[in-house]
A = this chain, B = another copy of it.
Amino acid sequence: MITTTGGPQPADFADVRATNLAVVLRYLRVNAPCSRAEIAAATGLNKATVSSLVADLIDRRLVRETGLTERRIGRPATMLVIDGSPYAAIGLEINADYLTAVAIDLGGERLLSWRRSFAGLSSTPGQAAAAVAALAKRAVGRVAKEGRQTLGVTIAVPGLVDGEGVVRLAPNLRWHDVDLRSALRSALGNPSFPVSVDNDANLAVLAEQRYGGYATTNNLIYLTGEVGIGAGIISDGRLLRGERGYAGEFGHLLIDPTGPVCGCGRRGCLEALAGISALIARAMPDSTHDGTLTDLEPEVDEVVRRAKGKDPAVLAALEGVGRDLGHGIATVANLINPEVVILGGYFVRLAPWLLPPAQAELTLRSVAPDEGGTRIVASMLDHGAAATGGAAQVLDTIDSGILPTP
């Protein structure tokens, strides 16, 4: 794919070939099984080019032939499919109360999906890195037993990550300047596959674009519904990262100057009002959690149970949280004009109560007519979205025509 940051670059042969490999892979991912002739007809590439590209893909075991299919007209054609079996992409997530691991093959099949409770707030960065590395090793080992080569490992973190994989700031883990990538590479024995670290919301929105309900949407925002609330922003089809990669700090929008103190030290931030810990505290002030919870799931279960039972205090709290979320969403919608804003993480289960007040607040605060076309929806992915996005990021490299060595 020819990128043009900072102006057009000459189109040379290697670029064109990578672009065309990407075109064939993407076509196969959506339309397989199909023949070389169908690929040529659909993409506008000539048949000799398609044959040469497909030969490359077969050599690298990304595509395989499935035998002949009788066609109505002409000779039987050899059909092609994406070969899921030789490779796996691995994604992991560290969050304040859990770790997850996901492995996905090139065909899009999820090979494993694990979740562990994890005391993020009471662990040191070293303990966290060791716990993630242990989980990553187990995932690499598991896919290796199936004869799969690991294409790469990407770790999602709820914080600001620089281009070198250093976590500059993760308030809800209480991390400052943690070189997580180096720690993981070394804990994994400096593997030959790439190890990356990225922001959880950025990876989750990539997962939404690839596997979620909004794969054809070019302007979407994913909001993590965890202790913190991060935004992953795709604008005009591309992840918006900003100058140093710190875009998407949605949770620290000022909503109420008289509101509670946030993990970042400021007062009245959105996540201090609508993050999942804040939501539990607002919905169940009788709850006794002490801020070092290792798993918020049972508490969210209880909020859902009381909401279904029409507990007026819980319904009022969810209404308030929904309005605060809508306020924040209106701010970002006025600035970025997305088509969909996707509530993720714990928000998914609470969406029946959060969506109506959030949408009403968006309508109230939108400058553009008809809310600029922006809709708020619940994610169809589960808590594994960020880890799934980690695996998707690994697969995106292949999809862009940069192939693994055979």
Residues of A within 8 A of B (CB): 1-2, 4-12, 15-16, 19-20, 22-23, 26, 43-45, 160, 168-169, 216, 218-219, 231, 233, 235-238, 240-250, 252-254, 264, 266, 327, 331-332, 334-339, 365, 367-369, 372-374, 400-401
Contact = CB atoms under 8 A, between A and B. Distances in A.
Contacts of A242: 219, 235, 336-338, 372
A62 B43 CA distance: 34
Contact of A240 (B26, B235, B254, B368): B235
B369 A168 contact: yes
A169 B5 CA distance: 32
B336 A247 contact: yes
Contact of A247 (B243, B247, B335): B335
Given A5-B237, A219-B242, A334-B253, A19 B12 contact: no
A82 B398 CA distance: 40
A327 B252 CA distance: 12
Nearest to A248: B335
* Copies of this chain: 2
B245 A337 contact: yes
A198 to B, nearest CB: 14
Contacts of A44: 10, 12
Contact of A11 (B11, B241, B266): B11
B337 A335 contact: no
A79 B400 CA distance: 39
A11 B5 contact: no
B253 A374 contact: no
A4 B236 CA distance: 10
Given A2-B2, A20-B11, A367 B240 contact: no
Contacts of A1: 2, 4, 8
A125 B24 CA distance: 50
Contacts of A264: 367
Given A235-B235, A242-B338, A253-B334, A368 B8 contact: no
A43 to B, nearest CB: 5
B243 A218 contact: yes
A336 B334 CA distance: 13
Contacts of A218: 5-6, 243
A58 B218 CA distance: 39
A19 B26 contact: no
Nearest to A240: B235
Given A240-B235, A241-B236, A243-B373, A249 B367 contact: yes
Given A10-B43, A16-B11, A238-B236, A169 B243 contact: no
A20 to B, nearest CB: 6
B4 A11 contact: no
A8 B19 contact: yes
